[in-house]
């Protein structure tokens, strides 16, 4: 087929190339307008007031709106139990509970959780009494270097809540019944938490042990 010019004077190929370039440019402009934080006359990002309720205590902060929840916990509040491993949501070392559900704190902005109930590893114990999962991890030696352990324990707490609520996973055989807390279920549900020391069998044993008490 001959690529003849149309009434605009452009060939079909030139018209397509122009359309693609225009769409890409429009998309870039739209992203810049929406994603860029508001700035003061001096060019600094305008900070935002936020109240974070963490471990049953409210903290009133003024943050750059681009601050991740993990950075707010570690740098603004000195709650360093949540670890920064990959900072890309791939290792799970920063796992915390938000309104009872586990999330990666490095992948969410602090300002998105104004008023939410956030629980970190520091808030799981009841005073001097360890949470059953903390005690089980010690009993079963569910850690070696310990860097991933806070995220592992918080993720396990979320896992137990999910199983109790009857949530199925990819490893659940019968979707008409509440999932049984088998080794396969635990490994599937904890797959987002990486242990570079490979203490996985001990972690599974600890979660099973704690499941009757947590």
pLDDT for res 144: 94
Q: Please identify, among 123, 156, 181, the residue that sits at the C-terminal boundary of a domain.
A: 123
- Tell me what percent of the residues of the chain surpass a pLDDT of 90: 72
Q: Does 55 reside within a domain?
A: yes
Which among 52, 78, 50 is positioned nearest to 64, based on CA atoms?
50
Hey, what are 172's tokens? 């659940």
Those residues with Cβ within 8 angstroms of residue 138's Cβ, 6 or more apart along the chain or in another chain: 130
What count of residues does the chain have? 214
Range(s) of the domain holding residue 67? 48-123
Q: Does 28 reside within a domain?
A: no
Q: Does 24 reside within a domain?
A: no
* Number of domains making up the chain: 2
Q: Does 5 reside within a domain?
A: no
Which among 74, 101, 96, 80 is positioned nearest to 164, based on CA atoms?
101
Q: Does 4 reside within a domain?
A: no
**pLDDT tens string 113-156:** 999 999 999 999 998 999 999 999 999 999 999 999 999 999 99
pLDDT for res 209: 96
Say which range, 31-35, 146-150, 157-161, 174-178, has the weakest mean pLDDT.
Answer: 31-35
Integer angstrom CA distances of residue 93 from 1, 85, 146, 195, 214 = 58, 6, 10, 9, 21
Q: Please identify, among 82, 104, 123, the residue that sits at the C-terminal boundary of a domain.
A: 123
pTM as predicted: 0.78
Q: Does 27 reside within a domain?
A: no
What's the CATH number where 156 sits? Answer: 1.10.150.120
What's the CATH number where 66 sits? Answer: 3.10.20.30
Q: Does 161 share its domain with 112?
A: no
Q: Please identify, among 63, 89, 123, the residue that sits at the C-terminal boundary of a domain.
A: 123
Those residues with Cβ within 8 angstroms of residue 142's Cβ, 6 or more apart along the chain or in another chain: 136, 149, 152, 199, 202, 203, 205, 206
Q: Per DSSP, what are the bridge partners of residue 201?
A: none
Q: Does 43 reside within a domain?
A: no
Q: Does 95 share its domain with 141?
A: no
């Amino acid at each position: 087929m001959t690529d003849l010019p149309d009434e605009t004077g452009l060939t079909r190929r030139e018209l397509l190339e122009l359309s693609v370039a225009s769409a890409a440019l429009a998309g870039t402009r739209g992203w810049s307008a929406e994603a860029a934080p508001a700035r003061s006359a001096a060019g600094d990002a305008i900070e935002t007031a936020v109240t974070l309720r963490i471990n049953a205590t409210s903290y009133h902060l003024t943050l750059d709106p681009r601050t991740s929840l993990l950075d707010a916990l570690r740098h603004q509040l000195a709650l360093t139990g949540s670890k920064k491993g990959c900072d890309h949501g791939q290792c799970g070392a920063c796992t915390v509970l938000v309104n009872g559900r586990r999330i990666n704190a490095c992948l969410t902005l602090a300002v998105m959780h104004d008023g939410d109930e956030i629980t970190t590893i520091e808030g799981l114990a009841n005073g001097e009494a360890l949470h059953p999962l903390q005690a089980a991890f010690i009993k079963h030696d569910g850690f070696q270097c310990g860097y991933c352990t806070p995220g592992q324990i918080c993720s396990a707490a979320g896992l137990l809540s999910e199983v109790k609520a009857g949530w199925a996973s990819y490893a659940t055989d019968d979707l008409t019944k509440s999932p049984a807390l088998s080794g396969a279920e635990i490994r599937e549900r904890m797959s987002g938490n990486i242990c570079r020391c490979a203490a996985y069998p001990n972690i599974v044993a600890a979660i099973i042990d704690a499941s009757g008490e947590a």
